[in-house]
């Protein structure tokens, strides 16, 4: 029985915490604590995946069940610490957090404590407090071993109390408690928008227009992914043309060093794009054409 209570405490604590981390509003203090240690859980894939199912989950699952699970976890752990002996001293430590939780909920009802009163919260507090006692009395025939002195049990109880108080504080909201799922959904949409806004976009580095053979002024590339976008129209409507674009290192002359064009076509008209592979540095365009053209160099920035 002892092991069942211990592992029941651990599993219910993990489950309740998971609901908060995966499905609750980003204004919870615990998310700020995680950011201090460089854990950005709000933008994690598992949280985004979970929020997609937010609308099908009932409010009691999102807002009341975690509290009941934590109370259950606390009571089971305290019973384990006190070797399942119920007396005045052990009952004080077993019941202190459940009683604080229940009375704080009533305090919210009469506006003595900030927050929103919810009868469902009280129901889950009571269930979380009473179920371990029902399980204990159902197994009262089991022989219990004395493994800790009263002083050690008291010290362990203080530690468990502090730990669960810390969890309760971390799960509190910087804003007033709300059961509005739209708030969480909106936050998720905002996070997704911010992620999209941080993605790289194609940016025009240089644009050059003209007719026939021309060289451009120099421009700079940063070494990011780059491309040429161009449009070309041959003169004379003869059914064919000639258009070639060279991206040349500053200071070089393809008439002397030679080179391969990044774009070459003999079509009469063409509008397209082509990827170029260039390292960071300064370049210029050398255009050889039999008609009018516009060339733009873009980088992913």
At 296, the pLDDT band (50, 70, 90 cuts) reads very high
Record the pTM: 0.50
Q: Tell how strand 269-276 and strand 263-265 pair up.
A: unpaired
For 162-176, what is the mean pLDDT? Answer: 53
pLDDT in tens, 49-71: 888 777 788 888 888 888 889 89
- For the chain, percent of residues with pLDDT exceeding 90: 13
Distance CA 26, CA 187 (A): 7
> For residue 141, what are the contacts with CB-CB under 8 A and spacing of at least 6?
none
Beta bridge partners of 125: none
pLDDT of residue 217 exceeding 60: yes
- Buried (b) or exposed (e) across 134-165, using 16+ Cβ within 10 A? ebbeeeeeeeeeeeeeeeebbebbeebbeebe
pLDDT of residue 34 exceeding 70: yes
pLDDT in tens, 228-275: 999 988 887 777 888 899 999 998 888 777 788 888 888 888 899 988
At 294, the pLDDT band (50, 70, 90 cuts) reads very high
For 16-33, what is the mean pLDDT? Answer: 78
pLDDT in the model for residue 144: 40
Domains belonging to the chain, first-starting first, are 2-197 (no CATH), 202-300 (2.60.120.380)
pLDDT in tens, 71-130: 999 999 888 888 888 888 888 988 898 888 888 888 888 888 877 778 888 888 888 888
- For the chain, percent of residues with pLDDT exceeding 70: 78
Beta bridge partners of 210: 293
At 148, the pLDDT band (50, 70, 90 cuts) reads very low
Helix (H) or strand (E) holding 203: strand 202-211
pLDDT in the model for residue 157: 67
For 147-171, what is the mean pLDDT? Answer: 58
For 2-26, what is the mean pLDDT? Answer: 83
215 in helix, strand or coil?
A: strand
> For residue 253, what are the contacts with CB-CB under 8 A and spacing of at least 6?
none
Residue 189's CB: how many other CB atoms inside 10 A? 11
For 219-234, what is the mean pLDDT? Answer: 91
Distance CA 59, CA 71 (A): 18
Q: In what order do the strands lie in the sheet with 226-234?
A: 202-211, 291-300, 226-234, 269-276
pLDDT of residue 164 exceeding 70: no
Q: Which two tokens stand for residue 263?
A: 């774009």
By CB atoms closer than 10 A (0-12, 13-18, 19+), residue 215 is: middle
**Tokens 């070494």 appear where?**
223
pLDDT in the model for residue 295: 94
pLDDT in the model for residue 58: 85
pLDDT in the model for residue 190: 60
């Amino acid at each position: 029985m002892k092991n069942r209570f211990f592992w029941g405490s651990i599993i219910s604590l993990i489950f309740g915490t998971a609901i908060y981390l995966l499905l609750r509003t980003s204004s919870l203090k615990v998310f700020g604590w995680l950011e201090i240690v460089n854990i950005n859980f709000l933008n994690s894939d598992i949280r985004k995946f979970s929020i997609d199912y937010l609308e099908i989950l009932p409010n009691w699952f999102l807002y009341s069940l975690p509290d009941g699970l934590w109370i259950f976890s606390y009571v089971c752990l305290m019973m384990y610490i006190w070797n399942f002996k119920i007396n005045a001293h052990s009952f004080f430590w077993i019941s202190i957090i459940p009683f604080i939780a229940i009375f704080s909920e009533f305090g919210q009802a009469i506006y003595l404590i900030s927050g929103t009163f919810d009868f469902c919260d009280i129901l889950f507090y009571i269930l979380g407090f009473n179920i371990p006692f029902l399980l204990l009395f159902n197994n009262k025939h089991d022989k219990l071993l004395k493994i800790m002195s009263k002083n050690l049990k008291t010290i362990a109880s203080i530690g468990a109390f502090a730990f669960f108080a810390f969890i309760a504080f971390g799960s509190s909201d910087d804003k007033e408690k709300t059961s509005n799922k739209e708030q969480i959904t909106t936050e998720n949409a905002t996070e997704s928008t911010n992620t999209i806004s941080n993605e790289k976009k194609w940016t025009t580095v240089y644009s050059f227009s003209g007719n026939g053979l021309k060289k451009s002024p120099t421009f700079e590339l940063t070494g990011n992914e780059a491309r040429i976008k161009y449009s070309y129209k041959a003169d004379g409507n003869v059914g064919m043309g000639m258009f070639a674009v060279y991206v040349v290192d500053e200071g070089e002359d393809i008439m002397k060093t030679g080179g391969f064009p990044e774009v070459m076509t003999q079509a009469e008209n063409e509008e397209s794009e082509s990827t170029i592979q260039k390292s960071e540095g300064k370049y210029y365009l050398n255009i050889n054409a039999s008609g009018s053209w516009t060339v733009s160099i873009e980088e992913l920035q």
